Amino acid sequence: MPKKPVIAAQPHTVSGFMKTPADVATTLARLKKLGYEAVETPVPCVTPAEFRKMALDAGLPPLAGGTSIDELRTDFAKVVTRCHDLGVDRVMIAYLWIVPYKTVADFKKVFKEMDGFAKRLAKEGILLEYHNHSHEFEKLGIKNGTGGKTILDMMFETAPNLHAKLDFGWIVRGGGNPVAWAKKMKGRLGQVHIKDWGVIDDKPAWREIGEGGIQWPEVLKACQASGTTHFIVEQDSCPVTNDPFLSLAISRKNLKAMGY
């Protein structure tokens, strides 16, 4: 089995505690104390270079930058500069608003465009990743109630140079098989987002890793076999604890119990 992946935190989980530069430094120190080993994208109140210094001072190497398809179109150089200032070798398209795309041809056109950006970024030493949600599991091309292909499948087939930053919480929410997806993206799955799902009042709700229904030992093992080097913990909200730091602590504790 490959070397154990690094366990990192996504600052979005604690964004409410990172409103000023002093808040950022304090929060990063708290994340380190909880047992996290790296941190993802920066926050708006500090520059990328400042975030890098703060993260390294806290003992949490920064992992990736964030971008959008629109920013890549309008200010490609800015994306490259931000990655260099952060000292990272990958950047993530965090979301693709699918409403403008009506047909299979529309989707394939934007996916080919993403592949082109991936090739351009590769020349700068930067990998382009895509972070999924659940809407990419809608199927296109259904005929008489059967068949079709998910938007996410189509994306990675059409853009072979695009890497995946699979979010397994959203994969499960979208009806996907997390183990199958981890295996499918072998060689293109250096970093992943992990979050869990449970049920509150008969509705799906975010839960801490190991406290929901996802079978993490099987998922994480499949990720390692596919070349994953970083597991990044993120919770969009914390409806059970109402405390993102407690939620992150629970996730870290449970990952340790799983051997990570």
CA pair distance 130, 93, nearest whole angstrom: 5
Give domain status of residue 63, yes or no. yes
Number of domain units in the chain: 1
Give domain status of residue 1, yes or no. no
3-state SS of 185-242 is CCCCCCEEEECEEEEECCEEEEECCCCCCCCHHHHHHHHHHCCCCEEEECCCCCCCCC
**Burial state string for 155-192 with b = 16 or more CB within 10 A and e = fewer than 16:** bbebbebbbbbbbbbbbbbbebebbebbebbeebbbbb
Give domain status of residue 185, yes or no. yes
Residue 140 backbone phi and psi in degrees, to 5? -110, 150
Q: Which residues contact 199 (CB under 8 A, 6 or more apart)?
A: 205
* Residue 183, domain extent: 6-199+210-257
What's the CATH code of the domain at 132? 3.20.20.150
Give domain status of residue 216, yes or no. yes
Q: In terms of Cα–Cα distance, which of 170, 67, 175, 59 is closest to 120?
A: 67
Give domain status of residue 204, yes or no. no
Partners of residue 130 on adjacent β-strands: 93, 164
Q: Dihedral of CA 237/184/76/6: which sign?
A: positive
Please, what are the averages of pLDDT over each run of 10 residues along the chain (260 residues)?
85 94 97 98 90 97 94 97 96 90 92 98 98 95 94 97 98 97 98 97 96 97 97 96 98 97
Give domain status of residue 44, yes or no. yes
Give domain status of residue 205, yes or no. no
Burial class (CB in 10 A: 0-12, 13-18, 19+), 144: exposed
- The pLDDT, as a whole number, for residue 2 is 58
Give domain status of residue 10, yes or no. yes
Q: Which residues contact 126 (CB under 8 A, 6 or more apart)?
A: 80, 83, 88, 89, 90, 91
